[in-house]
Amino acid sequence: MFDDSFQIKRIVSNAKMKQLVLFFTLIIFNPFATAQEESCEKKINSLLIAKMKTYNSNELIPYYSSKNEKWGYFNKNDGKIVTEPTLKGPKFFNPKLKLYYELETNGSDNGCDVTINSSVKNYETEGLRPSNYTISEAAGNRSNNKNAAAFIKNDITGFEVNSNNELTYFNERFYDPKENESTIIKILVFKDQYFAIVGEKDHCSIIRQNGQLMPGFENLKKYPYTKYNYKSDTDIWFLIENADKKYTFKSLLENRSLPEVFEQYPYGWSNFETSTGYALIKDTTNSGLLDLTTMQWKIKFSPKNKFEGLYYSSLENIIEYEIEHNRTMTTSYILNSKNQFMDVAMKIYKPKR
């Protein structure tokens, strides 16, 4: 509970020291010290579940209270407020509602972590516990060092892969002797064709398996991010930084780009590419909703749009990568700059005050 560096200064009187020792002893060793856990259970039930019971969880939409600076829920069908503003951020049931720290009261570090199941499962809870406010670090994995020079094969002009599409051999053009490693960063497979992203010094390029550079993808200053390839795709799309240091989507085979360019990297654009297939794209002045399955704008990229976030609600679990099915099972919502939610048809939902 306390780190080893915690010390009580010597100026504390013996009497006060005894009080402190007793206080800490009660906290650490008292088997009945479950007030926080009970508080979490009561808060979750009284503030959320008890008020949600009569509603379908996929019909609950968050609303923002500027007075409380917190979020509550209202029913999308009639606008009736279901819960008071109690959460620090907006969350949807999809189909579970997962809370971490969001349920805090009186500005204290007394949040609750919990997973609340959908109305189909009667809002049952899982993993209810007080939020952990400690800071932890995750150790990174180190790759195993290999003698990359042993995989140079100069009777090929590009690279070879095995049956698992893993790099096996490569021409010495794609070898860095200083680092003793291949400069091939990533292998791409598309309709039985192989490509690779190659990194050299301060730039990246994309090559065919025979080592030929792909036009429009030479000497990229930033790493090209690959869009997920759907079954219906006829090309590979990348998000790249262009010569003007702006970002755009560009296809590899047909070498065509979306006409829209983004002033800054659109963070979070790939969050839903395997679930609903939509991407919220925003920069300093424009925003829009891109359908990643067609690379067409569902909502045109425009300065008129002031979008802040993309969410979805569902009553049942979705199936990863089954985009068409998932869209029938979910409703996607966009948060605008006024802290209001709208659907992809741009219908705004508001609570009745």
Q: How much is the pLDDT for 33?
A: 36
Please give the Cα distance from 207 to 76 (Å, whole number): 50
Q: Give mean pLDDT, residues 8-21.
A: 39
For residue 20, pLDDT beyond 50: no
**pLDDT mean across residues, the chain:** 88
The two beta strands, 348-349 and 341-343, are antiparallel
Least confident of 28-32, 56-60, 127-131: 28-32
Q: How much is the pLDDT for 353?
A: 77
Peptide bond before 95: cis, by omega within 30 degrees of 0? yes
Q: How much is the pLDDT for 8?
A: 32
For residue 142, pLDDT beyond 60: no
**pTM here?**
0.83
Closest CA to 300 of 310, 292, 290, 309: 290
Q: How much is the pLDDT for 200?
A: 86
Peptide bond before 351: cis, by omega within 30 degrees of 0? no
Tokens of 262: 């983004």
For residue 193, pLDDT beyond 90: yes
Q: Taking a C-beta distance cutoff of 8 angstroms, is the pair 280, 269 a contact?
A: yes
For residue 113, pLDDT beyond 50: yes
Rounded to 10 degrees, the C-alpha dihedral 61/64/68/69 comes to: 120
Closest CA to 160 of 211, 122, 224: 211
Q: Give mean pLDDT, residues 145-172.
A: 93
Tokens of 122: 């009667």
Which amino acid is it at 266? P
Q: How confident is the model at residue 109 (pLDDT cuts 50, 70, 90)?
A: low
For residue 115, pLDDT beyond 50: yes
CA 207 to chain centre: 30
For residue 174, pLDDT beyond 60: yes
Q: How confident is the model at residue 34 (pLDDT cuts 50, 70, 90)?
A: very low
